[in-house]
Amino acid sequence: MYLVSTFYFSRIIGSRVYSDSGTAIGKIDDLAVDCTSQHPRVVGFALRDGRVLDSTSVDVIKDNGQYVFFCKDVRLIELSGDNILLLARDVQDRQIVDTDGHKVVRVNDLRLAITSSGTCLVAVDVGLEGLLRRLGMAKPIKRFLRTFGGSIPSKLILWDDVATIDSGRPGIKLSKESSKLLTLHPSDVADIIEELDRTSQNSVFASFDEERAADILEEMEPEARANIIESMPESKAADLLEKMPSDEAADILDVLHPDKAEKILREMNRETSEEVRELMEYPEDTVGSVMSTDFLSFSVDYAVGDVFSQLRRLKPESDTINYLYVVDRSERLLATVSLRDLVISDPAVRLSEIMNKDFISVYDDDDIETLNEIVYKYNLLAVPVINKDDFLLGIVVVGDVVDNLLRSKYK
């Protein structure tokens, strides 16, 4: 008989709790933990008769392979507050986000440790062994496999690497302040959200601010993006789409029900709404359907120093400044200027002195295949899009070309 230091949650469910005199007080039905600390601390032992014992009065002992619980002083507590979780009800069998492995997994069992500050939840078991342990089959199967040199795959995830719980009840939400999802690249977060069920997708996505949410939405697959936007009020969806490149917003609205898309467009500011509407009118296989209207253009008499002042003021996205575009007063495209040429030029130099008149462009109604060939042949990071009157309409960045090729490949 000895005091234990660690144990699995599944091994103690149904265990009896005894008083110091040896009288059975009840059977353990669940454990209540306080999630305000880094490692959730057990605050109560929930019994099957509905009572909850104060955890500070309970000792855990292992005797002949069985867990035995002794309650030195029967003190009952009431559970309240959004920070309290019941492990069987709220964590076990739920979806969690493994921020280290960037994936969604299901909790089969939980690992707890007894420390000087109390009993804490330290890890979740998402492997086969955890499931078999709950079924009471882990030990015999491990003994059987051991005779053949085999073993049961084990998979523990430290609680430090758990970001959110699909609890199915109000009150347990992803915290913007503490969530490790905030430290991941938007593409990784998008992958994680796509693995969740639709309700959980909306819950997790709603925890991010608009800037972060827009970045994540750009990385998601079309169906998942549509599900997110469909669930939002039109005004909120409009605010979010306004923070995205116009071509991305058009792609999302294209797959929504026309009535929903129209309501969102009406909520967007007029200029953005008109840009998105124009993009939505292009046939799917044309250059216009993948171009972005987010680009930077200047007149020929601009000085390099003035251009940099504008860039600092506008703070454009990185993929929109690989090239800048020189236009006349009618917004017809005259030339391009690379970011490299800007950087190495004196601030007083005019764009007319460093611009490149020998540039490659495409028409908005060109076939997308033409665009793919040009980007590959000339190794371009972005291509300007013009109409038949040479009016600069937008650009297509290489990332959008790659995305289009991948979508075409896997259709």
Answer yes or no: are the C-beta atoms of 321 and 293 closer than 8 Å. no
* Predicted confidence (pLDDT) per residue in 334-380, tens digit: 999 999 999 999 999 999 999 999 999 999 999 988 888 888 788 88
Q: Residues of the chain with pLDDT > 70: what percent?
A: 90
Q: Are 276 and 309 in the same domain? A: no
Q: Are 400 and 353 in the same domain? A: yes
pLDDT of residue 1 exceeding 60: no
Question: Which residue range is the domain that position 207 belongs to?
Answer: 184-281
Which residues, at least 6 apart from 239, have a Cβ–Cβ distance to it below 8 Å?
A: 210, 267
Answer yes or no: is 289 within a domain.
no
* Predicted confidence (pLDDT) per residue in 136-145, tens digit: 777 777 777 7
Answer yes or no: are the C-beta atoms of 291 and 247 closer than 8 Å. yes
Q: Are 108 and 241 in the same domain? A: no
Q: Which of 281, 310, 340 represents a domain boundary (last residue)?
A: 281
Q: Are 226 and 128 in the same domain? A: no
Total domain count, the chain: 3
List the CATH number of the domain containing 245: 1.25.60.10
- Residue 316 sits at the vertex; the CA angle it makes with 313 and 320, to the nearest 5 degrees, is 140
pLDDT interval class at 68 (50, 70, 90): confident
Lowest-pLDDT range, 70-79, 130-139, 292-301, 361-370?
130-139
Which secondary structure element, helix H or strand E, spans residue 335, and what is its range? Answer: strand 333-338
pLDDT of residue 219: 86
Q: Which of 112, 145, 160 represents a domain boundary (last residue)?
A: 160
* Predicted confidence (pLDDT) per residue in 110-120, tens digit: 998 887 778 88
Please tell me the distance from the alpha carbon of residue 41 to that of residue 222, in angstroms, as a whole number: 41
Q: Are 15 and 111 in the same domain? A: yes
pLDDT of residue 163: 63
- Quote the DSSP letter at residue 339: H
Structure tokens, 106 = 């299901």
Q: Are 29 and 66 in the same domain? A: yes
Average pLDDT on 49-64 reads 86
pLDDT of residue 165: 54
Judging by DSSP bridges, how do beta strands 323-327 and 333-338 pair with one another? antiparallel
pLDDT interval class at 21 (50, 70, 90): confident
Structure tokens, 247 = 């071509």
pLDDT interval class at 80 (50, 70, 90): confident
Q: Which of 281, 308, 338 represents a domain boundary (last residue)?
A: 281
Answer yes or no: is 168 within a domain.
no
Q: Are 276 and 305 in the same domain? A: no
List the CATH number of the domain containing 385: 3.10.580.10
Q: Are 405 and 318 in the same domain? A: yes
26 compared with 223, residue with greater pLDDT: 26
The edge-to-edge listing of strands for the beta sheet with 333-338 is: 297-298, 323-327, 333-338
Answer yes or no: is 165 within a domain.
no
Please tell me the distance from the alpha carbon of residue 117 to that of residue 98, in angstroms, as a whole number: 26
Structure tokens, 69 = 């619980």
Answer yes or no: is 167 within a domain.
no
The closest alpha carbon to 29, from 8, 50, 43, belongs to 50
Please tell me the distance from the alpha carbon of residue 90 to that of residue 95, in angstroms, as a whole number: 10
CA 55 to chain CA centroid, nearest Å: 36
Answer yes or no: is 287 within a domain.
no
Q: Are 125 and 198 in the same domain? A: no
Answer yes or no: are the C-beta atoms of 96 and 192 closer than 8 Å. no
List the CATH number of the domain containing 57: 2.30.30.240
Q: Are 262 and 384 in the same domain? A: no
CA 263 to chain CA centroid, nearest Å: 27
Predicted TM-score of the model (pTM): 0.58
Q: Are 13 and 144 in the same domain? A: yes
pLDDT of residue 2: 43
The edge-to-edge listing of strands for the beta sheet with 382-386 is: 362-363, 382-386, 392-397
Answer yes or no: is 179 within a domain.
no
CA 90 to chain CA centroid, nearest Å: 21
Q: Are 83 and 208 in the same domain? A: no
Q: Residues of the chain with pLDDT > 90: what percent?
A: 34
- Start-to-end CA span in the chain (Å): 63
Average pLDDT on 125-141 reads 80
**Among all chains, which residue has been given the structure tokens 């008149």?**
357
Answer yes or no: is 177 within a domain.
no
- Quote the DSSP letter at residue 40: P
